[in-house]
Amino acid sequence: MKISAYTTLFILMLVFFTNMPVTDCIAGEGNTSTTKVVSATTQTGLPYAVVTSHSGKGIYTDEQGVFDATVFPAGDSLTFYCVGYERVTRSAGQLPGTIALQPLSRTMNEVVISANTPVKTIPYPKRGMPSTWSSSVGMELATRIPFPPEDSGKLKKLTEVRIRIKQLNEENPCRLHIYAATPADTPGEELLTKDILLTKKD
């Protein structure tokens, strides 16, 4: 995976661990109040898109992009998010059968890096440290990748990500995000144009 360098001083990498089974996003028998999240350009379902509410509840769509809308109160405000697409906010009480997300217009060009470029290893923090936090959807770990001002305009490449996970399966996937940092040292613009979801199949 090759990325172009931004003028920010560092990049935040978030590893997302869901603690809610994806199957909980599917409507139960006899419940027809489901909504499908699709790409606005291809009309295909977006698997594992994130649906979060203003009240703090969150779920994933299933492999076809479908989720059970009845888990949210009618008066709640829902935000739909998928890597590579613009966020959309809708009222839970007025959801259409399909939510279409527009692809981000940003494109990323491939960059060739010299083989002599030094390689640095940056560990991610342990659970419970200040750069980790939990939500209704799961837990996130943030790793800061330094980008000194003197390197502004240079190109960087993230070659490998190693993660130790005790419980990883189809119902508890691990999602990788890479963000440019904001001036407040928080995740800003998403740098990935494709979703990276890690699962383990027995």
Question: Comparing C-alpha atoms, which of 99, 103, 96, 105 is closest to residue 79?
Answer: 99
SS (H, E, C) the chain: CCECCCCCCEEEEEEEEECCCHHHHCCCCCCCCEEEEEECCCCCECCCCEEEECCCCEEECCCCCEEEHHHCCCCCEEEEECCCECCEEEEHHHCCCEEEECECCCCCCCCCCCCCCCCCCCCCCCCCCCCEEECCCEEEEEEEEECCHHHCCCCECCCCCCCCCCCCECCECEEEEEEEECCCCCEEEECCCCCEEECCCC
Q: Tokens for 42?
A: 């291809």
- The pLDDT tens digits for 191-201 are 776 666 666 55
Determine the distance from the C-alpha atom of residue 17 to the mean position of all C-alpha atoms in its chain, rounded to a whole number. 10
- The pLDDT tens digits for 18-77 are 444 343 433 333 344 789 999 999 999 998 888 888 877 788 888 899 998 888 888 888
Longest Cα–Cα distance of the chain, Å, equals: 61
- The whole-number pLDDT of residue 36 equals 93
- The pLDDT tens digits for 118-175 are 555 555 455 444 444 444 455 566 677 776 677 766 666 666 766 666 655 555 566 7
The answer, as to whether pTM is greater than 0.75, is no
What are the structural domains of the chain? Answer: 10-18+107-198 (no CATH), 22-101 (2.60.40.1120)
- The whole-number pLDDT of residue 41 equals 92
- The whole-number pLDDT of residue 38 equals 94
pLDDT at 7 over 50: no
pLDDT at 111 over 60: no
Question: Higher confidence at residue 3 or residue 143?
Answer: 143
- Number of other residues whose CB lies within 10 A of the CB of residue 56: 10
Distance CA 150, CA 103 (A): 33
- The pLDDT tens digits for 77-106 are 899 988 778 889 998 888 888 999 998 765
